[in-house]
Amino acid sequence: MSFKELQLCTPLLKAIADEGYTTPTPVQAQAIPYILSGRDMLAGAQTGTGKTAGFTLPMLELFSREQNPQSKKRNIRALILTPTRELAAQVGESVKTYGKYLPYKSAIIFGGVGANPQINAINNGIDILIATPGRLLDLINQRVVNLSHVEMFVLDEADRMLDMGFIRDIKKVIALLPAKRQNLLFSATYSDEIKKLCESILKNPAIVEVARRNTSSELVKQSVIFVDCKRKSSLLGHLIEKNKWEQVLVFTRTKHGANRLSEYLTKMNISSAAIHGNKSQGARTKALSDFKANKVKVLVATDIAARGIDIDSLPHVVNFELPNISEDYVHRIGRTGRAGNGGEAVSLVCVDEFDYLKGIEKLIKKTLDKSTIEGYEPDPSIKAEPIQQGRGGGSRGNSNHRPKSNNNSSPKKRDSSTHNRDRNRR
Ligand code: AMP
């Protein structure tokens, strides 16, 4: 993916080249097409992911696509609300940098400094306003700022806004915006409050989520264990017990797979809960709070359900099944290794999933460490079968989720010294 493929105009491409950017970051590649299509968007992206260019570039592009941009009187057509003056300054800098070959004007307003230069800048006519909520409301009350022409509204670092107690100010600002507008909301985490805010602001939003730029490579120890599809459950139980994992987020491809696996683990006396789209909000919230409070060791989740998980430093993520979309792998492992803590991401891969594995390695530009665990080696006579979407674990269906008691791979019977050795080998 190149910036040119994102359909950006030459003045923007030139500014991007001046910055030395060669390829869009994941949030840019995902968000820019949605924004250009005019959709509202909810983006889970932190500072450091390139999110600012992710909304600034398409904003400028949309303005530049208008027929007679110069014939319009300058009105504030985009409002970017940020929680802090530092962020406002940074975003304002980005707007200037990316827009340097375009004719649009912007101003940055925040409290703690004299208002006059800000008032003058606005009075000279601007297209884009970057503001913190308090100073914005002051200048609205002084009739310096008029928001009635805003076409695009960006709420940046919405979670921090709420943490800082800006919810009432945000609501006051929103009440002054025209009903017809495009809304973009960025947040690194999703609390219930953020969800409520999204529901009140966004209409049918596109959802974009990216891991931190460095998660795939630096902080997370990633590995693959080859195992037959039908033995994955017992291998997972074994890994959890043997390595004494206390907090593990496990991803399955389907809701049924999540339920079955959670039931299996519970039967093995490994406390576990499943969260997915079929569960009520109450059940999901409870599962998550039990998991956070270390009351359950294992949370089994589907990709969509995991979007709501805002735990900062999960030690272990397991891909019980590889995702069919390679980017989801990066999102999944982005759940660990956060906040500077190391993390471990283990993928249990069966013969059906080799193509997915290749796709992931291509995306992350890295060959993953691969191993087998003694007692769980794949049977070489099993041939790959196509994975049917909507069913867990391939066409074989991962049906064997019951704990086995008479099998030497049973967690209760395994030889611990062997498994420790295996683990060390990995
Ligand atoms: P942000 O997450 O918006 O604060 O951006 C983080 C940093 O990434 C900033 O210093 C940007 O200049 C830089 N950046 C943004 N987009 C790209 C890109 N496509 N390639 C390289 N660096 C970028």
The per-residue pLDDT string of the chain (426 residues; one tens digit each, 9 = 90 and over) reads 899 999 999 999 999 999 988 899 889 999 999 999 999 999 988 766 889 999 999 999 999 998 665 556 789 999 999 988 878 988 999 999 999 999 999 999 998 889 999 999 999 999 999 999 999 999 999 999 999 999 999 999 998 898 888 999 999 999 999 999 999 999 887 777 888 899 999 999 998 987 654 445 456 789 999 999 999 999 999 999 999 998 999 999 988 999 999 999 999 999 999 988 777 767 777 888 888 888 999 999 987 677 556 565 678 999 999 998 887 888 788 777 654 556 889 999 999 999 999 999 988 878 999 999 999 999 888 887 777 654 334 445 444 443 433 333 333 333 333 333 333 332
Interatomic CA distance for residues 43 and 117, integer angstroms: 33
Distance 50 CA to ligand 1 centre (A): 4
Q: Which of 48, 363, 98, 63 is nearest to 212 (CA)?
A: 48
Ligand 1 proximal residues by C-beta, below 6 Å: 21, 24-25, 28, 47-53
Record the pTM.
Answer: 0.56
Of 2, 25, 160, the residue with max ligand 1 atoms within 8 A of its CB, to mutate for a pocket test, comes to 25
Instruction: Go through 63-77 and write b for each residue having 16 or more CB atoms within 10 A of its CB, e for each that does not.
Output: bbeeeeeeeeeeebb
Any idea what the Cα angle at residue 309 is, between residues 308 and 310, rounded to 5°?
Answer: 115
What is the position in ligand 1's atom list of the atom closest to the CA of 24?
19
Distance 56 CA to ligand 1 centre (A): 12
Q: Do 78 and 154 contact (CB within 8 A), yes or no?
A: yes
DSSP designation for 219: I
Q: Specify the residue with its C-alpha closest to ligand 1, atom 18.
A: 21
DSSP designation for 358: H
- Residue owning tokens 């009903």: 179
What is the position in ligand 1's atom list of the atom closest to the CA of 52?
3
Secondary structure (3-state) at 369: strand
Domain 4-209, CATH 3.40.50.300 — does that match? Answer: yes
Q: Specify the residue with its C-alpha closest to ligand 1, atom 5.
A: 50
Which homologous superfamily does the CATH classification assign to the domain defined by 220-424? P-loop containing nucleotide triphosphate hydrolases (3.40.50.300)
Distance 267 CA to ligand 1 centre (A): 47
| 133-141 and 167-175 helices, crossing angle to 10° | 40
Domain regions of the chain by residue span: 4-209, 220-424
- DSSP letters along 330-350, please? HHHHTTBS-TT--EEEEEEE-
Check for a shared fold between 4-209 and 220-424: yes
Of 12, 16, 21, the residue with max ligand 1 atoms within 8 A of its CB, to mutate for a pocket test, comes to 21
Q: Which of 74, 84, 37, 30 is nearest to 53 (CA)?
A: 30
Alpha helices in 176-229 (DSSP H): 192-201
- List residues bridging with 199 in a β-sheet: none
Distance 113 CA to ligand 1 centre (A): 28
Provide the pLDDT for residue 407: 38
Provide the pLDDT for residue 93: 92
What is the position in ligand 1's atom list of the atom closest to the CA of 47?
2
